[in-house]
Homo-oligomer: A and B are copies of this chain.
Amino acid sequence: MRANADMPKIVDHEKQREKLAKATWRVIRQGGIGQASFRNIAEEAGASVGSIRHYFPTQSELLAFSMKLISDRINQRIRNIKWSDSPFEGMKQLLREILPMDEEQRIETEVWFAFTAKALVDPTLQPFSNEIYDELRSVFTFIIEHLIKLDLAVPDLDVEMEVERMYALIDGLAVHAILRPDRLKPDMIESVVNHHLKSLCR
């Protein structure tokens, strides 16, 4: 018996899944979600279709994981925000983390957009899309409630309505920023975000 024959082959499964997810992002970015077939993703990742199926039995599962990885990254960045200095600055930073302000965030937004458009017509993706929608919505609930708790907000803010308004505003800015980077620049996005936050404060 050879020494290593019984030792398990060490494969970092989480790393493998991430590698496939990132290949999925690149394929979506280049050709749209219609191109995100196992074959194209396998080619992009330098993997075999069989090895993808090992991790993701269906295309929906791969797409959902790829999308979940994006919302995890956003949540991670949000958790890293330092709130100690100024809560107002913290909130501005939080909103910037969600918006496509740099190349990496642009990719996230483009993949989110393509994924969301597909989820509209693919019922198997809808639960994942809904989960991400609700998760992101809770960020805006947090912002509005935090403004009130810190006594920064104007009196009698309608919480539900302001949550919907801010969520729609931020998603609209995100969509416009990827559709027309020539028209809606990061500077303007920042102005809109600052102005909107200020308009909610005393």
A172 in contact with B167 given A121-B31, A129-B179, A178-B120 (CB within 8 Å): yes
Within 8 A of B (CB), among A29-56: 29-35
The reply on A78 being an interface residue by CB < 8 A is: no
Are B32 and A122 neighbours in the complex by a CB distance under 8 Å?
yes
Within 8 A of B (CB), among A162-182: 164-165, 167-173, 175-176, 178-180
**B contact residues around A114 at 8 Å (CB):** 117, 120-121
Report Cα–Cα, A120/B176, bound state, in Å.
Answer: 11
The reply on A161 being an interface residue by CB < 8 A is: yes
Shortest distance between the CB of A120 and any CB in chain B (Å):
6
**B contact residues around A180 at 8 Å (CB):** 130, 133
Seen from chain A, the residues whose Cβ lies within 8 Å of a Cβ on chain B are 29-35, 110, 113-114, 116-122, 129-130, 133, 137, 158, 160-161, 164-165, 167-173, 175-176, 178-180, 183-184, 188, 191-192, 195-196, 199
